[in-house]
């Protein structure tokens, strides 16, 4: 299974890189993530609860980072096991590029699945992965730009109001979030997120997929 995409985050590349180095941010942004542990400077372990169609299980994953090039990107490889639900393994590359409105995060994933997951079909797996990616990016963007999450009542209310635009104009919804985030950061300047890890944990989307 191949999956690729890109997201524009209205923050500097360095700030995005720093936010992606924060284990607590990763845990809070990845849907269903129960824990993330740093095993070594280039290895991470995580526990994620995921539901793909009729299959729901707790997946334990091991991820290795390589070809580190801060703050530009790196390569990630790993394997996730969910008992009788099946397993997934693969690799991905992630690249951060400067953009006039912030930073572009591009990812390219190549993964394979086995067990019950293989019986579901790639279409449903890819649809689930994309949905989880959207959920992740909404939370992560708020963290990276403002230091708050969608759990903040004011932010949650604002996003819910603006999400109504999605039914009539998808681009309008995306642009409205950007506008709100830029306004939020100007109105409330916060200190840059503290780096909690010495190595980057940048391939978050592939990180999610490899656990399914």
Alpha carbons 70 and 58: distance in angstroms, whole number:
31
Which tokens belong to 68? 């580190």
Give yes or no for a cis peptide into 71 (omega within 30° of 0).
yes
Q: Residue 176 above 90 pLDDT?
A: no
Write out pLDDT tens, residues 102-146. 899 888 887 777 777 667 767 777 777 778 878 888 888 888 877
* pLDDT score recorded for residue 156: 55
At 34 the three-state DSSP class reads: strand
Choice among 4-13, 64-73, 79-88, 160-169 with the minimum mean pLDDT: 160-169
Confidence of residue 188 (pLDDT cuts 50, 70, 90): very low
Kindly report the number of other CB atoms within 10 A of residue 111's CB atom. 22
Q: Give the residue-averaged pLDDT of 199-208.
A: 40
Q: Which residues pair with 78 in a beta bridge?
A: 63, 90
pLDDT mean across residues, the chain: 70
DSSP-assigned letter for residue 85: G
Q: Residue 41 above 70 pLDDT?
A: yes
CA torsion sign for 185, 5, 151, 45 is negative
Q: Say whether pTM exceeds 0.85.
A: no
């Amino acid at each position: 299974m191949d999956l690729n995409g890109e997201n524009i985050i209205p923050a500097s590349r360095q700030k995005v890189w720093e936010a992606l180095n924060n284990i607590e941010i990763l845990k809070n942004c990845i849907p269903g993530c129960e824990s993330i542990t740093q095993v070594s400077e280039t290895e991470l372990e995580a526990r994620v609860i995921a539901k793909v169609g009729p299959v729901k299980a707790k997946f334990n994953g091991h991820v290795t980072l390589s070809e580190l090039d801060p703050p530009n990107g790196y390569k990630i490889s790993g394997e996730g096991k969910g008992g009788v639900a099946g397993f997934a393994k693969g690799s991905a590359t992630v690249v951060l590029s400067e953009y006039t409105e912030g930073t572009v995060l591009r990812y390219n994933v190549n993964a394979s699945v086995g067990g019950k997951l293989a019986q579901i079909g790639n279409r449903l797996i890819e649809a689930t992965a994309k949905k989880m990616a959207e959920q992740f990016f909404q939370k992560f963007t708020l963290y990276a730009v403002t230091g708050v999450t969608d759990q903040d009542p004011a932010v949650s209310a604002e996003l819910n109001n603006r999400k109504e635009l999605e039914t009539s104009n998808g681009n309008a919804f995306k642009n409205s979030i950007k506008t709100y985030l830029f306004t939020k950061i100007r109105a409330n300047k916060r200190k840059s997120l503290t780096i909690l890890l010495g190595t980057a944990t940048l391939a978050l989307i592939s990180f999610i997929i490899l656990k399914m």
